[in-house]
């Protein structure tokens, strides 16, 4: 069983909710009740349970300040533009040993360290967190200790796998694992359109395409074989798959992915610059 110290989540939207779901699994033990906050009663009330103390800012305006008291890990789940003001709001109520852990894009550890006195970490989980399959990039601020990073890793391992990286790589990581699910969904979307154009119903196309992606991904993970080798095994010489792969290779997908990730990285730098 994974055991974690007291935790607060400020802003329990889709990502914060996914992390909360990971923390409330039977295999995870958190000291005391997890505290979470949301703006509205409608969002806050369904999260309340024996394991979770849920606050609505509409009912308790100082809920963020109350929620962080006695917490070792304070996870910031609000939108990036809201992070500095939220940190200023809670700074005086944080415990001396609190770790502030942000999942907001484009908010640097330098920005956070200028507002709060203690340890800060920056994380970039992706949307498969909602099914416990996240890939999370984790970067440490200048004041974070090895124990702080280990606690951050333990938290995010409740929703998937964790890759520790220096902060100067976190934006690049977001263009792969952060945006990556959208690339996969887009590929599935277009292959599904092609299946429909070949005469299959949308339902039949979904079964074929979704099942093929799921099965291929599972085969890749379970086999431990590199993707290029698995592709070779499917591609019979002078067969139909070989002919299709030749068309895909002629499109120079590597250059296309280079351009796409470069565009995403440029936008991340724009956001970080305000």
pLDDT of residue 88: 98
- State whether 6 and 97 are in the same domain: yes
pLDDT of residue 271: 84
Q: pLDDT: is 106 or 188 the higher one?
A: 188
State the residue for tokens 């499109």: 251
- State whether 133 and 70 are in the same domain: yes
pLDDT category of residue 115 using cuts at 50, 70 and 90 = very high
**pLDDT higher than 80, residue 169:** yes
pLDDT of residue 210: 98
Tell me what the pLDDT averaged over the chain comes to: 96
**pLDDT higher than 90, residue 273:** no
Domain that holds residue 60: 2-170
Backbone torsion region of residue 54, taken as left when φ is above 0, otherwise alpha when ψ lies between -120 and 50, otherwise beta: beta
In-domain check, residue 194 = yes
Last residue of a domain, one of 109, 140, 170: 170
**In this structure, what token pair is assigned to residue 73?**
């890990």
- State whether 15 and 52 are in the same domain: yes
**pLDDT higher than 90, residue 106:** no
pLDDT of residue 272: 80
**pLDDT higher than 80, residue 274:** no
The CATH number of residue 32's host domain is 3.40.50.720
A 10 A CB-CB count for 85 gives 10
- State whether 132 and 188 are in the same domain: no
pLDDT category of residue 234 using cuts at 50, 70 and 90 = very high
The span from the CA of 8 to the CA of 122, in Å, is: 16
pLDDT tens digits for range 124-148: 999 999 999 999 999 999 999 999 9
pLDDT of residue 2: 82
């Amino acid at each position: 069983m994974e055991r974690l110290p007291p935790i607060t989540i400020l802003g329990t939207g889709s990502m914060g909710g996914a992390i909360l779901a990971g923390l409330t699994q039977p295999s995870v033990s958190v000291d005391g009740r997890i505290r979470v906050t949301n703006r509205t009663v409608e969002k806050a009330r369904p999260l309340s349970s024996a394991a979770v103390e849920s606050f609505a800012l509409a009912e308790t305006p100082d809920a963020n300040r109350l929620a962080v008291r006695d917490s070792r890990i304070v996870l910031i789940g609000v939108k990036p533009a809201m992070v500095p003001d939220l940190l200023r709001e809670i700074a005086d109520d944080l415990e001396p040993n609190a770790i502030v852990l942000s999942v907001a894009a484009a908010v640097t550890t330098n920005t956070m360290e200028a507002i709060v006195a203690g340890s800060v970490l920056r994380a970039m989980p992706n949307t498969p967190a909602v099914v416990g399959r996240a890939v999370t990039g984790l970067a440490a601020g200048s004041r974070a200790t090895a124990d702080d990073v280990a606690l951050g890793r333990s938290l995010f391992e409740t929703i998937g796998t964790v890759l520790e990286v220096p902060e100067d790589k976190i934006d690049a990581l977001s263009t792969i694992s952060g945006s990556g699910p959208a690339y996969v969904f887009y590929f599935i979307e277009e292959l599904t359109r092609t299946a429909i154009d070949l005469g299959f119903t949308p339902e039949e196309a979904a079964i074929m395409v979704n099942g093929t992606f799921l099965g291929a991904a599972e085969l890749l993970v379970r086999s431990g074989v590199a993707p290029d080798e698995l592709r070779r095994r499917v591609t019979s010489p002078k067969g139909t798959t070989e002919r299709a792969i030749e068309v895909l290779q002629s499109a120079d997908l590597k250059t296309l992915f280079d351009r796409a990730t470069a565009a995403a990285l440029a936008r991340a730098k724009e956001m970080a610059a305000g």
